Structure 1
Amino acid sequence: MRASRDLGADYDDAIADAIVDRLDHTVDERVGRRLAEAGIDTRTQGKAPAKSSDEQWSDPRLIMGLLAMCFVIPLTAIGGSYMGATGVVLAWAGTLVFYLISVIGIRR
């Protein structure tokens, strides 16, 4: 508080960031100690296994999202040229419905 008063309002953000960094470090140390005392290994807990690059591209939601984006661009142009703003809205709404139905169907 005294440093903030001495330095002025220009340094308030920097002082606040420094305090937060110190508190984060202190809290992390205390939580780590408590977990170690309880015998909990924090290095492997709560981490999902990393996906390989092949698994990342085989995610159905990603594929359907990419397909939906590929369809929506020409549909927007076509709908906009024939129907104006209504055509654009219909193109996006239709593509969104297509995406949602395909993703919900994949989950089942």
Structure 2
Amino acid sequence: MWGFIVALISGALMSIQGVFNTEVTKQTSLWVSTGWVQLSAFAVCVLAWLFTGRESVAALWQVDNKYTLLGGVIGAFITITVIQSMGALGPAKAAMLIVISQLAVAY
């Protein structure tokens, strides 16, 4: 049940974030907005790390498949493409197509 609730919250937050990021992009630029998203996410992660356990960051270099460390790069492209799709299609259509794409790729 917990996973179901977290998944629903995740979907809602992704849609809200897309709307917020699109609005910031309209007032700044795509790269400024995307950079701010990544920088503020990094700051939240550092704070959470400081307060919750401080696992070794060096463990990242022991990851077997180094290509899996590209998740952050993919995250930047996710931010860019969500901003662009929401700006072009509006939040409802963009979110619908994003979810369809997620389901297709996951399948």
TM-score > 0.5 by shorter chain: no
Bigger Rg over Cα: 1
Q: Which has the higher helix share?
A: 2
What is the TM-score with the length of structure 2 in the denominator?
A: 0.29
What is the TM-score when the length of structure 1 is the normalising length? 0.29
